[in-house]
Chain A
Amino acid sequence: GQQLNQSPQSMFIQEGEDVSMNCTSSSIFNTWLWYKQDPGEGPVLLIALYKAGELTSNGRLTAQFGITRKDSFLNISASIPSDVGIYFCAGQFGGATNKLIFGTGTLLAVQP
Chain B
Amino acid sequence: DSGVTQTPKHLITATGQRVTLRCSPRSGDLSVYWYQQSLDQGLQFLIQYYNGEERAKGNILERFSAQQFPDLHSELNLSSLELGDSALYFCASSVRPLAVQYFGPGTRLTVT
- Whether A102 sits at the interface, judged by CB under 8 Å, is yes
With A42-B2, A43-B90: A99-B106 Cβ-Cβ less than 8 Å = no
Residues from chain B with Cβ under 8 Å of A63 in the complex? none
With A43-B90, A98-B55: A104-B100 Cβ-Cβ less than 8 Å = no
Inter-chain contact B56/A98, CB cutoff 8 Å? yes
Instruction: Tell me the chain A residues, 42-62 only, with Cβ under 8 Å from chain B.
Output: 42-45, 48
Which of B55, B56, B100, B108 has a CB less than 8 Å from the CB of A33? B100
Q: How large is the interface on A (under 10, 10 to 19, 20 to 34, 35 or more residues)?
A: 20 to 34
Number of interchain pairs (Cβ within 8 Å): 71
- Whether A112 sits at the interface, judged by CB under 8 Å, is no
Which of B2, B41, B44 has a CB less than 8 Å from the CB of A44? B2
Q: Chain A: interface secondary structure?
A: strand
Inter-chain contact B98/A3, CB cutoff 8 Å? no
With A97-B48, A98-B98, A101-B45: A1-B103 Cβ-Cβ less than 8 Å = no
Known: A41-B106, A42-B105, A44-B103. 14 other contacts (CB 8 A): A3-B42, A42-B2, A42-B4, A45-B101, A45-B103, A48-B100, A92-B98, A97-B55, A98-B31, A99-B56, A99-B58, A100-B33, A100-B35, A102-B44
A residues with CB within 8 A of B: 1, 3, 30-31, 33, 35, 40-45, 48, 88, 90, 92, 94, 96-105
